[in-house]
Structure 1
Amino acid sequence: MKKYLTQKWIVICIAVFCSILWGSAFPVLKISYDELQMAADDTIAKIVFAGMRFLLAGLILLVGMLLVKPKALLVTRRQVKFLVIFGIIQTSLQYFFFYNGLANTSGMQGAVLSSSGTFFTVLLAHFFYANDRLNWAKAIGLLAGFTGVIVANWGQEMKLSFELTGEGFMILAALTGAIGTIMAKEMAVGIHPFALTGWQLTIGSILMLLVGVPQMKPNAITFTPLGWGLLGYAAVLSAVAFALWYSLLKYNKAGEISIYKFVTPVSGAILSSIFIPGENLTVFIIGALALVAVGIIAVNYKHKKPGKQAKIET
């Protein structure tokens, strides 16, 4: 397995696939809010919905592992403590900040600020790992990817303002996500990536539900057959994307594969234009795709060695 998860072209395909899955969550969530008749300002209902989504995702993985590889679910006492902390940071805290922050920012600000998690991950990896330092290729990749996110959202209004519960929470969501990425790479030694994902999502979601359910208003969420289907898809995409992502982290540099997360907001914009009425594919989104591609190429560019031509790894 390690051999396949370290081959460059396989890593790129899986990382991009995960980012597209996370991008699909944007239109799915927007459609879900309307279908389930959740009020735009009802943060508690959104937290409960997120808790249900991640609990289902976690259970899918845990039950799957129980059937296929039950011994992989066993963890030590020390690993249990890590999983609890990891679940709180990577699921509970990150999505508490994300759902609250997104409710108080514009669409463009939300996309741009959430993509800052890539910067945080690359910077943290620079200080944590001697073989994952920030270099010119990564710097160009970060600049191109971040510019692509801005270009993708250029048609939307962007207000120059800052509120702790809005822009501040989006930045904190990005930071907690980056910290979680480094934790998964640094401290999850000996834990199967799928088991890690299942425990993380389950523990974090239970905390969200314990906090949210007692405060939720009656009839704040009205489920329909389509609503249940959307919840199921959101749960599956979370389970698959996180499990594959942690598998990549186990065998690859965190700073390098995190660059591919710039695909998430761009794919989210494209999928939103396809599935959400009134949102259209524009020349800005096409330009953003080109910039993100430049960023990915830059990160994978190998400097010329004596007697050899520089090349792009594939």
Structure 2
Amino acid sequence: MKPKLPVSFFVQVLICAALWGSAFPVIKLSYETLAIEGFGERMVFAGVRFMIAGLLIVPFCRSSIVNTMRSAPKGLLLWVVLGQTVLQYVFFYYALSVSSGTLGALLVGGGSFWWMLLAPFFLKTPMPTRSQWTVIAVCTVGIVIAVWAPGAGSGNVGLGSAAFLLASLAGAWGAIGLKKVSTRHGSRAVTAISLFAGGALLTVLGANGWNGFWSDLGTDAIWIMLYLAFLSATAFTLWNRLIERYSVTVLSAYRFLIPLCGVIESSLLIEDESIGIGIVVGGSLILGSLWAMSRLEARKA
């Protein structure tokens, strides 16, 4: 009999899903509450958040950050930094500035399918089966329907959808890099490096927004950034630890919980957004596809 996944696995996945799901409405609302405008201010906002998150992880690292930076392949570290932090959140923060949190929660869930497509090339896992290709095709139809009629408050659906999908692609690419480097180096140390170094790069990218961001920095902004930093430190530490211990395909099967939490939390917290027929029908197809993929992966694993 195949060994069952432990209860702790599901608890950690649920914590990650709930925390990452809350990021959609919190960041979206922060743009208005904190008057964050333009690419530069968004990047500084994201960069400071991730630098704090990286520092929060350091006390819990089993291996030295300095030793990890010296011994780990620099190319793999750069792969993780660029994928999981820099590129993913350049696209993600831009997408939330032009589109809705509800739509973003659904589309970012597509990262599971990016994993399925990329892993065979980078991790030498089996190619998707015929059943899995069918599920991927159904998910694609769901994305098209969701984008077609997402509901009020969706903004520029075309640009937002493209950016959300690119964010999920970058995140999946970064996670594969993490899987490769964490086999010999602690996932926590690599995560701390990824978040801090990635955050520093984001603040450099947003250099033209420094003055505006720091001049508007107040108590509300500090509390929001601390929450988002805690969110990132906790979720990335747990998730990357799971990546280190379990296969990418097993984890991708349970990523459907992230868009589910994101849709629920966005619909509850963002008043200006409404769920259109496209989100209902397309979202059902997307979440159903992710659930079906989880069943197929569970049989294999």
Length-normalised TM-score, structure 2: 0.79
Check whether the contact 2:254–2:294 (CA below 8 A) recurs between aligned residues. no
Between Structure 1 and Structure 2, how many residues are aligned?
295
Aligned to 1:74: 67
Secondary structure of the corresponding residue to residue 72 of structure 2? helix
2:12 is the counterpart of 1:14: yes
Which string of whole-angstrom CA distances, capped at 9 and with x for unpartnered residues, describes residues 45-102 of structure 1? 111100011111100001333xxx4547632635161324421332112211222344
Give the deviation of 1:26 after TM superposition. 0.7
Stretch deviating more after TM superposition (185-194 or 142-151):
142-151
Matched residues in 2 for 1:15 and 1:149: separation? 24
Secondary structure of the corresponding residue to residue 216 of structure 1? helix
2:206 is the counterpart of 1:212: yes
Aligned to 2:52: 56
RMSD: 3.8
Give the deviation of 1:180 after TM superposition. 0.6
Match of 1:33 among 23, 31, 47: 31
Give the deviation of 1:214 after TM superposition. 4.3
Give the deviation of 1:108 after TM superposition. 6.4
Matched residues in 2 for 1:84 and 1:108: separation? 31
Larger Rg: 1
Matched residues in 2 for 1:175 and 1:120: separation? 6
Match of 2:222 among 228, 253, 263: 228
Specify whether residues 11 and 289 from structure 1 end up closer, same or farther in structure 2 by C-alpha distance, changes over 3 A only: farther
2:125 is the counterpart of 1:124: no
Give the deviation of 1:44 after TM superposition. 1.1
Specify whether residues 261 and 144 from structure 1 end up closer, same or farther in structure 2 by C-alpha distance, changes over 3 A only: farther
Aligned to 1:306: none
Secondary structure of the corresponding residue to residue 120 of structure 2? helix
2:38 is the counterpart of 1:45: no
Matched residues in 2 for 1:243 and 1:207: separation? 20
Specify whether residues 191 and 219 from structure 1 end up closer, same or farther in structure 2 by C-alpha distance, changes over 3 A only: closer
Aligned to 1:95: 89
Specify whether residues 297 and 253 from structure 1 end up closer, same or farther in structure 2 by C-alpha distance, changes over 3 A only: same
Check whether the contact 2:21–2:105 (CA below 8 A) recurs between aligned residues. no
Matched residues in 2 for 1:161 and 1:151: separation? 12
Matched residues in 2 for 1:31 and 1:264: separation? 19
Check whether the contact 2:87–2:167 (CA below 8 A) recurs between aligned residues. yes
Check whether the contact 2:106–2:262 (CA below 8 A) recurs between aligned residues. no
2:294 is the counterpart of 1:299: yes
Aligned to 2:182: 188
2:243 is the counterpart of 1:245: no
Check whether the contact 2:102–2:267 (CA below 8 A) recurs between aligned residues. no
Check whether the contact 2:108–2:167 (CA below 8 A) recurs between aligned residues. yes
Aligned residue runs from structure 1 range 144-155, under 5 A: 155=150
Q: Percent identity?
A: 28
Match of 1:257 among 251, 273, 279: 251
Secondary structure of the corresponding residue to residue 300 of structure 1? helix
Aligned residue runs from structure 1 range 153-164, under 5 A: 155-156=150-151
Q: Give the letter for the 1:265 counterpart.
A: P
Matched residues in 2 for 1:240 and 1:145: separation? 29
Aligned to 2:197: 203
Secondary structure of the corresponding residue to residue 218 of structure 1? helix
Length-normalised TM-score, structure 1: 0.76
Check whether the contact 1:90–1:200 (CA below 8 A) recurs between aligned residues. yes
Q: Which runs of 5+ in 1 are unaligned?
A: 303-310
Check whether the contact 1:23–1:264 (CA below 8 A) recurs between aligned residues. yes
Matched residues in 2 for 1:147 and 1:260: separation? 20
Specify whether residues 292 and 109 from structure 1 end up closer, same or farther in structure 2 by C-alpha distance, changes over 3 A only: closer
Matched residues in 2 for 1:10 and 1:141: separation? 28
Matched residues in 1 for 2:157 and 2:287: separation? 26
Matched residues in 2 for 1:16 and 1:89: separation? 23
2:173 is the counterpart of 1:176: no
Aligned to 1:23: 21
Which string of whole-angstrom CA distances, capped at 9 and with x for unpartnered residues, describes residues 126-184 of structure 1? 33445443125544654666677777785516799856xx5544433222212111111
